[in-house]
Amino acid sequence: MNIMNKIILSALFVLSFMVVPLYAADEFPSGPDLNADSYLLVDFHSGVELAAKNQNKRIEPASITKLMTGYVIYHALKNGNINLDDNVLISEKAWKMEGSRMFVEAGKKVPLKRMLSGLIIMSGNDAAVALAEHIAGNEAAFVSRMNDWAKKLGMESTHFSNSTGWPDENHYTTASDIVKLTRAVIKEFPEHYKLHAVKSYSYNGIKQYNRNKLLWRDKTVDGVKTGHTESAGYCLVSSSKRNEMRLISVMLGAKSEKERADFSQELLEYGFRFFETHKLYDAGSVLAEARIWKGTKDTVPAGIVNDFYVTVRKGHYEKLKGLMELDTSLDAPIKRGDLVGKAIIKDGDTTVHEVTLVALDAVDSGGFWSKVTDSVKKLFH
């Protein structure tokens, strides 16, 4: 199918670099109605929301916080600031942490690789604090990095006060923001994300099991993180990959450990049952030629920055129509990466996806005569 079978030229308004899911909620088959404070089901590749309840409501994330703790650690490893072979000194503060622990001992040094397993698999609060201190000197400085990364990821309704998820009135996030973080972890650090699928880990003679019960129920589930406090309820971020389609489910404020697993499984089954995801274009694909005025070239290739995926109701992929809108008033100079238009995918009359088009090359300003003649041509275009 020629998905881009129609070109429309129009004025360009404010656009986003991210795929924008635009299916109206009532266009989808009715999703599950679950007794939890907040939940969200999203396709990993396209970012399309498939089912939701209070997804933008501020909530207490409990140990789901450790997704961001891990994300900051992964960046520190990537940048070479720390190493998996580092020995992490266990402070008295880390040793005294309550809640879930990996049971490290004060004054001991533990390999960072083991501490990371304790953080992700055991959800150790002691591991979170010790790692924060090792990387940033103290937990407060580490939390500042957590909040910096939250801003970079566009987590606009999130603020962290600690590295563990310990209850605090200034420690909050939303299901929507958790999805942003989860997508970043899976996409950017697949080698570390594998830890989230490990079912058990032993340290200091104590074997503990991953609290994500879906790892035992469903072989397609490979993460992500549980959380629980009295005030937050039972929480679970889960992800499942079947064939080339991956879904992310966020369940917050369930009433029991069983319900958070049951509800999360119900969301995942709903998504795989009723929807399908397809890759339309690779990153860097040229989708159009944009007209450039007053430059050394008359046109510039317009394309996409990231891989372009579409998620639609099952059986609707072949019915999709595509169009492009290009800005008709672009004057040189044009830099590579400048916005020049958008690609739109429609299912009938419903817009289901949008993605911005950017210049894939640069165009310098033309000479005096080029500017004069193009100014005249532009008036009549």
Say yes or no to pLDDT of 56 above 90. yes
Residue 228: pLDDT band with limits 50, 70, 90: very high
Instruction: Read off the pLDDT of residues 252-282 as tens digits, 9 standing for 90 and up.
Output: 999 999 999 999 999 999 999 999 999 999 9
Compute the average pLDDT of residues 336-365. 92
Mean pLDDT lowest for which of 63-77, 216-230, 350-364, 366-380? 366-380
CA 363 to chain centroid, in Å, comes to 33
pLDDT given for residue 380 in this prediction? 72
Domain ranges for the chain, please list them: 6-23+280-380, 36-254
> Which one-letter DSSP state was computed for residue 86?
P
The CA distance from 344 to 357, in Å, is: 10
DSSP 3-state of 310: strand
CB 191 within 8 A of CB 56: no
pLDDT at 75 over 80: yes
116-125 pLDDT tens trace: 999 999 999 9
Q: Check residue 28 and give its pLDDT.
A: 52
Task: Provide the pLDDT for residue 174.
Answer: 97
Per-residue pLDDT band for 370 (boundaries 50, 70, 90) equals confident
Say what the pLDDT of residue 375 is: 78
pLDDT of residue 10: 31
**Mean pLDDT rounded to a whole number for the chain:** 90
pLDDT at 27: 53
Active site residue 63: yes
Of 63, 161, 238, 240, the catalytic one is 63
Domains 6-23+280-380 and 36-254 share a fold: no
Quickly tell me which residue has 């200034």 as its tokens: 170
> Which pLDDT score, from 0 to 100, does residue 60 have?
94
Between 186 and 6, whose confidence is greater?
186
Out of 53, 66, 294, 342, the active site residue is 66
Please name the CATH architecture into which domain 6-23+280-380 falls. Sandwich (2.60)
In this prediction, residue 288 has a pLDDT band, given cuts at 50, 70 and 90, of very high
How would you write 266-305 as a 3-class SS string? HHHHHHHHHEEEEEEECCCCEEEEEEEECECCCEEEEECC
pLDDT digits (tens, 9 = 90+) for 126-181: 999 999 999 999 999 999 999 999 999 999 999 999 999 999 999 999 999 999 99
231 is catalytic: no
Question: Which is catalytic among the residues 46, 117, 123, 163?
Answer: 123
**pLDDT, position 11:** 28
Q: Which two tokens stand for residue 344?
A: 């739109």
Class of domain 36-254: alpha beta
